[in-house]
């Protein structure tokens, strides 16, 4: 009975969590009249799959999606390349001021982005990088949280394993590539998923750093579309579904490593 009650509560909690997403999907398939009806329509009698082509006809959502994929994809790959490498250096190398530099790195997490936004904007403007991919990507190529996560995950790896590889003649890059990286796959999955989801949903910096519709990302494009067509809730919901799908697919593909990485990171 206790287990049955537990599963019942978990099922109800899951339903409460999923219900808004299902209603968003339902709203994206309704007619404009159904969305403005006095009574909520849980599922339309005749799903309007044409709402999605209409959305792309009214606004350049194809460009929005491509821009978001490029920005989020490049930043995620950069984090997966640089954050583990820096985390490995902080975890396994001894050098002067190591702890001081690490504390200074962690201190940047306490600086709100709003404080850094104006200097970043002036820097990008002076470089002529506003409304460009490099202007959207460059400020976020590395992240203190990612470095901290990878350092905490790499630190428990036995030093004797690394020393044995050095005795066998392995280079430092070879040790990192053949010993460290294979043991950090769960943490890399967590880092990659967190980074992609955050950058895919990032709104403020793309709003500030872009000036033309062709360079907008999908969160910015969807918000401006909603301001222009604020009564077309079915099209706004269709855009929200498009915004949600890539992150859901990525989580489904990496959930095995993601769950393991969260568990191991907590234990370590």
pLDDT digits (tens, 9 = 90+) for 203-234: 999 999 999 988 999 999 999 998 888 778 99
Q: Which of 33, 49, 65 is the last residue of a domain?
A: 49
For residues 8 and 221, is the Cβ–Cβ distance under 8 A? no
Q: Are residues 99 and 210 in the same domain?
A: yes
Half-sphere exposure (Cβ direction) of 233: Cα atoms closer than 13 Å? 15
Averaged pLDDT, 108-133: 92
Q: Which of 139, 248, 120 is nearest to 196 (CA)?
A: 248
What is the average pLDDT score of the chain?
A: 90
For residue 176, give both structure tokens: 């990192």
Q: Are residues 62 and 139 in the same domain?
A: yes
Q: What pLDDT is attached to residue 263?
A: 56
For residue 91, give both structure tokens: 């975890």
For residues 144 and 106, is the Cβ–Cβ distance under 8 A? yes
Averaged pLDDT, 146-157: 91
Averaged pLDDT, 244-252: 88
Averaged pLDDT, 79-92: 94
Q: Are residues 215 and 132 in the same domain?
A: yes
Q: Are residues 172 and 101 in the same domain?
A: yes
Indicate the pLDDT class of residue 54, thresholds 50, 70 and 90: very high
Q: Are residues 45 and 57 in the same domain?
A: no
Higher pLDDT, 267 or 174: 174
> Which residue range is the domain that position 79 belongs to?
53-267
pLDDT digits (tens, 9 = 90+) for 55-83: 999 999 999 999 999 999 999 999 999 99
Q: Are residues 24 and 84 in the same domain?
A: no
Q: Are residues 183 and 242 in the same domain?
A: yes
pLDDT > 70: what percent of the chain?
A: 96
Q: What pLDDT is attached to residue 146?
A: 93
Q: Are residues 8 and 128 in the same domain?
A: no
Q: Which of 49, 68, 85 is the last residue of a domain?
A: 49
Q: Are residues 30 and 112 in the same domain?
A: no
CA separation for the pair 140, 2 (Å, rounded): 48
- Res. 187: pLDDT tops 70: yes
How many structural domains compose the chain? 2
* Domain CATH for 100: 1.10.3720.10
Q: Are residues 134 and 181 in the same domain?
A: yes
* Angle 206-227-215 from CA coordinates, rounded to 5°: 30
Indicate the pLDDT class of residue 37, thresholds 50, 70 and 90: confident
Q: What pLDDT is attached to residue 267?
A: 44
- Res. 265: pLDDT tops 70: no
Q: Are residues 228 and 200 in the same domain?
A: yes
Q: Which of 49, 65, 89 is the last residue of a domain?
A: 49
Averaged pLDDT, 87-107: 92
Q: Are residues 112 and 199 in the same domain?
A: yes
CA separation for the pair 252, 264 (Å, rounded): 19
DSSP calls for the chain:
-HHHHHHHHHHHHHHHHHHHHHHHHHHHTS-HHHHTSSS--SS-SS--TTHHHHHHHHS-HHHHHHHHHHHHHHHHHHHHHHHHHHHHHHHH---TTHHHHHHHHHHGGGS-HHHHHHHHHHHHHHHT-TTSHHHHHGGGSS-HHHHHHHHHHHTTS-HHHHHHHHHTT--HHHHIIIIIHHHTHHHHHHHHHHHHHHHHT--HHHHHH--SGGG--HHHHHHHHHHHSTT-HHHHHHHHHHHHHHHHHHHHHHHHHHHHHHHHHHH-
Averaged pLDDT, 127-140: 94
Q: What pLDDT is attached to residue 264?
A: 55
- Res. 53: pLDDT tops 60: yes
């Amino acid at each position: 009975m206790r287990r049955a009650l537990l599963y019942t509560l978990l099922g109800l909690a899951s339903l409460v969590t999923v219900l808004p997403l299902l209603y968003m999907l339902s709203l994206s398939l309704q007619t404009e009249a159904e969305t403005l009806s006095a009574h909520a329509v849980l599922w339309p009698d005749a799903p309007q799959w044409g709402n999605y082509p209409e959305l792309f006809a009214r606004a350049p959502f194809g460009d929005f999606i491509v821009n978001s994929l490029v920005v989020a994809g490049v930043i995620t790959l950069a984090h997966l390349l640089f954050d583990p490498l820096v985390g490995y250096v902080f975890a396994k190398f001894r050098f002067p001021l190591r702890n001081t530099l690490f504390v200074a790195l962690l201190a940047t997490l306490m600086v709100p982005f709003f404080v850094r936004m104006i200097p970043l904007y002036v820097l990008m403007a002076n470089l002529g990088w506003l409304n460009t991919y490099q202007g959207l990507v460059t400020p976020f190529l590395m992240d203190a949280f990612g470095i901290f996560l990878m350092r905490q995950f790499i630190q428990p790896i036995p030093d004797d394993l690394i020393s044995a590889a050095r005795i066998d003649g392995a280079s430092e890059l070879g040790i990192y590539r053949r010993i460290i990286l294979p043991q950090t796959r769960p943490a890399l999955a967590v880092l990659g998923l967190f980074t992609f989801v955050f950058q895919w949903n990032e709104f403020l910096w793309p709003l500030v750093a872009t000036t033309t519709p062709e360079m907008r990302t999908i969160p910015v494009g969807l918000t401006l579309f909603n301001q222009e067509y604020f009564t077309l809730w079915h099209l706004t919901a269709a855009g929200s579904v498009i915004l949600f799908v890539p992150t859901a697919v990525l989580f489904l593909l990496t959930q095995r490593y993601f769950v393991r990485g969260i568990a191991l990171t907590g234990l370590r």
